[in-house]
Structure 1
């Protein structure tokens, strides 16, 4: 027997659904830590605040710091939601009608097949659309030189003055930009640029990674600024493609980039310049 469940709210409009989708995707990919940001935060906390030695105390400290960043993300979620509801989304109802599909007994085989073809391959396809060209751009920038300096380092030097204002450097900011397809490649891009290599690299230990970063001027302020910007910057390519597809609007897609980036830049500038007063 099939049953259809319908959740009725106070309004039924596409704009309400867009509001829900936009805010949900925006917060999930930016202010609430995703899989790409977690490794970066954990690495920064370990290298610059608790060290690589084992023990109960370092574990507690790292857990507290990571929890603090998660709570910061949650707070920013509420703040931005309130801000959006009072500005560009003012007057747009937050509720809408959601109709659930007919209830059927679970069919594990069909669920797995449909998940693979309708979800997994679809998401991978969208990722490849952006990741492949981005990978080519990164490789070309790292391997084409002008006056014996790679295009990658030229771009980093151009971004450096503004990045310094944010508590970062040009390489870090450029790595975030080139990491648009996936946040997981931000740190490898930084390593590649610092070591002047032509391909993405990973070091064997966090001790080596910290030594590399410190040798290029990193301090605890740089680490915190990097963590803050990891938490608050533009969504990855797959999320933006999803927003564009579901809302069919370049406006919402652009806002999904502008809003978290503006907040991230502002927070980093405020933190870096206030922190420097006490150093």
Structure 2
């Protein structure tokens, strides 16, 4: 159990029923006494603005309200994603047009030099084209999303999110601080795994580690946004397309949170039984945003860092994908053989073999799953230059995609094995190959089950 306190907000009494009456009362009195003494000392030593303190208390009474806390969280999340979806379309198209124009010049240059087709195939059609897609699709959404998310962090709102989520995590038998590690996982799952060190209990720390992959990380946001924009927005009138795309991404995020709570509950009552710990979380005062720090942290420390990692990983992955798609055994490429072998499983999951191969080859980073899908389709089908979202829509539709396919891919993107960096981090944190394997197989099993059920349910509705 956790007790959460602010300078002028009393310890929450609605948490007491979760503990024995005498234990809850003792802990509340101890915490209240500590903060009262700290406030008395602070008031004598430091001159504070009463207006600022009262304003913080009034804001907290709204943002952490039992009835308004969660709606405000959802509205802010939806607003950030809506701004990201609507604002990233044109820059993404413009960037893609420029990068694919460079691709044409590079191909002409390789041909003028007399380079063999396999060389510019690997270098340009494999590595460069994948890089161009990663940059054009990932950079604009991240350049919008990260500053907005960092702004909320700099304002001091994220601890209020942890406050609102704390009670839910405690009810699942997990540690209240798990909501903080979950929020960190929205940036990077590997960073979220590392942040689980703030949880003292080994049992509860392990629950947080095993469930952190259900937080939608930076590498999955561009794929979710692109597919929601292409397919979900087409289901309604153009005036409501951005809204539906935004709600779809929000729905995937909320699904991840619900699955985090459900799996935490099951683990705490099966493999990792135990009693939840007690801790105190202090809500910091609201702060005036530092625009310079926001720009540096969001664009340099986050956007360019994630993009750089994706580029480094995407380049060899793009080359490998092109080689597999253009190396033949008999009449079929190695990539096609793999895709055909996985296609029966992919079909009953609402996808296809190429999509499953892309997830396997995308183990180094979630950022490159969609580019590998594109490379797979382009290697076995028409060589389409993806200079816009419309071109991507055409490519996917030509290969049988529907809104149901997109939904299954988005859901499987949420529920599949963690990326290689995250798995390595899990092993370093747990020092256990067993728990690392469980961390990989648990979400994968849930992803297969969830897509099977959705595809089967949609098939029954059509019948």
Q: TM-score, normalised by structure 2?
A: 0.47
* 3-state DSSP of counterpart to 2:379: coil
CA distance in 2, matches of 1:246, 1:27: 14
> 1:97-121 CA deviation, whole Å, 9 max, x = no partner?
9xxxxxxxxxx9xxx9xxx9xxx8x
Query: 1:162-209: CA deviations, max 9, x gaps?
Result: 111111100001101110111111111111111117xxx972212111
Asked if the contact 1:33/1:231 (under 8 Å) is kept, the reply is yes
For residues 322 and 246 of structure 2, the distance between their equivalents in structure 1, rounded to whole angstroms, comes to 36
**1:191 and 2:374 aligned:** yes
Match of 1:47 in 2: 230
Change (3 A) 1:137 1:220: same
- Residue 241 of structure 1 pairs with residue 424 of structure 2: yes
* Distance in 2, Cα, partners of 1:236 & 1:171: 18
Residue 141 of structure 1 corresponds to: 324
Counterpart in 2 of 1:258? 441
Tell me the distance in 2 between the aligned counterparts of 1:18 and 1:141. 43
Shift of 1:149: 2.0
Which structure 1 segments of 5+ residues have no match?
A: 1-8, 10-14, 98-107
> Does the CA contact (< 8 Å) of 2:415 and 2:446 recur in 1?
yes
CA distance, structure 1, for counterparts of residue 315 and residue 432 of structure 2:
24
Tell me which of 135, 145, 150 is aligned to 2:333: 150
Aligned to 1:196, the other structure's residue is in SS state helix
Aligned length: 244
Q: 2:316, 2:201 → 1: CA distance?
A: 32
Secondary structure of 1:235's aligned partner: coil
8 Å CA contact 1:175–1:187 kept in 2: the answer is: yes
Q: What is the distance in 2 between the residues matched to 1:17 and 1:139?
A: 47
Q: Higher relative contact order by CA 8 Å / sep ≥ 6: 1 or 2? A: 1
Correspondence for 1:27? 211
> For 2:389, which of 185, 203, 206 is the aligned residue?
206
SS at match of 1:195: helix
Cα pair 1:167 1:225 within 8 Å, conserved: yes
CA contact (8 A) 1:26 1:235 kept: no
- Specify every segment of 5 or more residues in structure 2 that has no aligned partner in the other structure, as ranges: 1-174, 176-198, 280-292
1: CA distance, partners of 2:256 / 2:209: 14
8 Å CA contact retained: 2:348, 2:452? yes
8 Å contact from structure 1 (residues 234, 256) kept in 2:
yes
Give the drift of 1:57. 2.1
Answer yes or no: is the 8 Å Cα contact 2:417–2:440 preserved in 1. yes
Distance 1:236 1:206, change over 3 A: same
Of the candidates 215, 234, 247, which is equivalent to residue 64 of structure 1? 247
Q: Does 1:180 align with 2:368?
A: no
> Cα distance, 1:259 vs. partner?
0.6
Alignment of 1:86 with 2:269, yes or no, is: yes
